[in-house]
Amino acid sequence: MILVSWVLIILMIALAILSIELKNLIAAVVAVGAVSLVISLLFLLIQAPDVAMAEASIGAALTMAIYIIGVRKTERSEKDG
Amino acid sequence: MVRKVVYSIFLAIIVLALAMFFAAYPFGKNKMTVGEYYLNHGVAQTGAANIVTSVVLDYRGFDTLGEVSVLFAAAAGVAILFFLAGGTKREQEDLTKPNFVVRVGSRIIFPFILLFGSYIFIHGHLTPGGGFQGGSIIASGFLLLYLSYPGTRTNRDGLSIIEGLAGLTFVVLGLIGLFLPQYSFLYNFLPKGTLNTIVSAGILPIIYIAIGFKVASEFAGIVDDMMCQVICRGGGK
């Protein structure tokens, strides 16, 4: 159990760094959604299923959709500088 | 130079104050007794098998009303913002039609998402989850529909009516408590029933169903506004 949660925490941090570093904004948004998904798994591991459900449906689905719509209306990829 | 010295003195004071505060704070111990009270008395007093629901809707029911109002204000803000932006002409974007698998798959899975979401908010007082979670799951089902059939528009008047009726149910149920001898807002006046059955916990399941409808229609409205910005000709409506 402890091992699983450590793996998930490391995965979450890696995805969060990835979401900052990626230049393709759609890919970055997908990484943000994946962070939410991993967080919801972590909430499940510490026995908070109510919060896990809210995080999975709002963080991973609705927020991601809103970000993607925002990206569609603006620039597709990040410029250097 | 003087400014930097003043800044660093203030910074040192802030850091010192925070350090003293956290040093005095017991770490990893029970700091409050209210949680224990809820765990020991929650089931007997509210009749809800899910302790989280008994806290969210019974002990802290008024906070939940505030939370619902915040969500309503956010949805109204999004709608107003896009209504104002709708006046300007936008270049129309070509949306590629999603492929066959996405279209047919979403049509098959959509009713099951609705069923799952309603299951979660109807069983809010028995199993984990509740109105907010179930409502957002239903709204994500609507999102799937929007993504797979880009031309979809929801009936906004219907959404507004559902939302208003749900909010009204919550407030009226709360106000009934004020006319009873107990004289408290959101008093649980219905019989508690047997634990672990659908019809139990008095008004809690009714409130959670109302919240589920309200959250679902609000989120669906936000998604509709946002997708319209991408799809609708000339932006807005």
pLDDT tens for each residue of B49-99: 888 888 888 888 888 889 889 988 998 888 888 877 764 444 455 566 778
B230/A62 touch (CB, cutoff 8 Å), yes or no = no
Tell whether A10 is covered by a domain: yes
Tell whether B143 is covered by a domain: yes
B226/A65 touch (CB, cutoff 8 Å), yes or no = yes
Number of domains comprising chain B: 1
Residue B236 predicted with pLDDT over 70: no
A61/B230 touch (CB, cutoff 8 Å), yes or no = no
Tell whether B132 is covered by a domain: yes
Nearest to B133 among A50, A69, A73 (CB): A50
Number of inter-chain CB pairs under 8 A, A vs B: 45
Burial A41-50 (b: 16+ CB within 10 A, else e): bbbbeeebbb
> Within an 8 Å CB–CB cutoff, is residue B136 touching chain A?
yes
Residue-range definition of the domain harbouring residue A63? 2-73
Tell whether B121 is covered by a domain: yes
Residue B235 predicted with pLDDT over 50: no
> Within an 8 Å CB–CB cutoff, is residue B143 touching chain A?
yes
Residue B218 predicted with pLDDT over 80: yes
For A54, nearest residue in chain B (alpha carbons): B133
Number of domains comprising chain A: 1
Residue-range definition of the domain harbouring residue B173? 2-230
Mind listing the pLDDT tens digit for each residue in B109-136?
999 999 999 999 888 888 888 888 999 9
Tell whether B203 is covered by a domain: yes
Q: What percent of chain B has pLDDT over 70?
A: 92
Q: What is the mean pLDDT of chain B?
A: 82
What is the Cα–Cα distance from B235 to B15, expressed in whole angstroms?
50
Tell whether B29 is covered by a domain: yes
Tell whether A33 is covered by a domain: yes
The answer to whether B120 and B197 have CB atoms below 8 angstroms apart is no
Residue type for position B234: G
Tell whether B236 is covered by a domain: no
The length of chain A, given as a count of residues = 81
What is the Cα–Cα distance from A26 to A34, expressed in whole angstroms?
12
Tell whether A79 is covered by a domain: no
Tell whether B81 is covered by a domain: yes
Tell whether A43 is covered by a domain: yes
From chain B, the residues in CB contact with A53 under 8 A are 120, 128-129, 133, 137
B223/A58 touch (CB, cutoff 8 Å), yes or no = no
> Within an 8 Å CB–CB cutoff, is residue B122 touching chain A?
no
Residue B237 predicted with pLDDT over 50: no
The pLDDT of residue A81: 47
Cite the DSSP H helix spans in B86-234.
100-122, 131-148, 156-176, 204-231
Token pair recorded at residue B162 = 């559902």
B230/A73 touch (CB, cutoff 8 Å), yes or no = yes
Interface of B with A in 30-69 (CB under 8 A): 52
> Within an 8 Å CB–CB cutoff, is residue B150 touching chain A?
no
